[in-house]
Amino acid sequence: MKTPVLDPEVLGIDGVLVTIPHSALAELDRRESGYDRVQIEPEQIAFAFDSHALSVERLFMYVSKTEFNAPADEDHPILQSYIDCVMAGYEAQFGADGLSRFLQTTHGWRGPIENDRSSPRYPRAVQLSVDQQARYDALLKETRSELR
């Protein structure tokens, strides 16, 4: 089960734009089956670059489907392999500060976590170094302890 992670008090979240051909949207929709593709306007985004150079016909974002908006529980834990993938992606794109912002401005971290690192269930799992595993575990532990 998935739950929306963006804190409603926060007006935004760091993200990336990915350009794909229109013909690839159906395949992406299948991959992101737990989400709805929603068209957005460039004015709805604060770009970290000169958006005038952006030449796209349409912008979309994927929003969690309502039926998946439930907290993690024992039957539907958060997969460690998913958390690792998201944290590694945020750190790669936005650095340590961006990763910290992500953890502080999202919620849903109280639920049970299934440590599936040795046999990842998440289909896009990433390999982490021992150092990354330790850092991510410490950051997540700190974030979870602040929620108590």
Q: What is the pLDDT of residues 49-82, one digit of tens each?
A: 666 666 777 889 888 898 888 888 999 999 999 9
Residue 54 counted as domain residue: yes
Q: Give the mean pLDDT of 90-107.
A: 91
Q: Is 80 exposed, middle or buried (0-12, 13-18, 19+ CB in 10 A)?
A: buried
Residue with the bigger pLDDT between 50 and 112: it is 112
Percentage of the chain modeled with pLDDT above 70: 86
Q: Is the pTM of this model over 0.85?
A: no
- Could you write out the three-class secondary structure of the chain? CCCCCECCCCCCCCCCCCCCCHHHHHHHHHHCCCEEEEEECHHHCCCCCCHHHCCCCCEEEEEECHHHCCCCECCECEEHHHHHHHHHHHHHHHHHHHHHHHHHCECCCCCCEECCCCCCCCCCCCCCCHHHHHHHHHHHHHHHHHCC
Residue 52 counted as domain residue: yes
Does position 22 have pLDDT exceeding 60, yes or no?
A: yes
pLDDT for the residue 9: 55
Q: How confident is the model at residue 1 (pLDDT cuts 50, 70, 90)?
A: very low
How far is Cα 60 from Cα 38, in angstroms, rounded to an integer? 5
Average pLDDT, the chain: 85
Residue with the bigger pLDDT between 130 and 6: it is 130
Residue 5 counted as domain residue: no
Does position 2 have pLDDT exceeding 50, yes or no?
A: no
Residue 62 counted as domain residue: yes
Residue 124 counted as domain residue: yes
- Vertex 70, ends 15 and 123: CA angle to 5°? 55
Residue 141 counted as domain residue: yes
Q: Decide if 79 contacts 49 (C-beta within 8 A).
A: no
Residue 10 counted as domain residue: no
Q: Give the mean pLDDT of 23-38.
A: 94
Range of the domain at 114: 22-146
pLDDT for the residue 4: 47
What is the domain count for the chain? Answer: 1
Residue 12 counted as domain residue: no
Q: Give the mean pLDDT of 119-138.
A: 96
pLDDT for the residue 18: 84
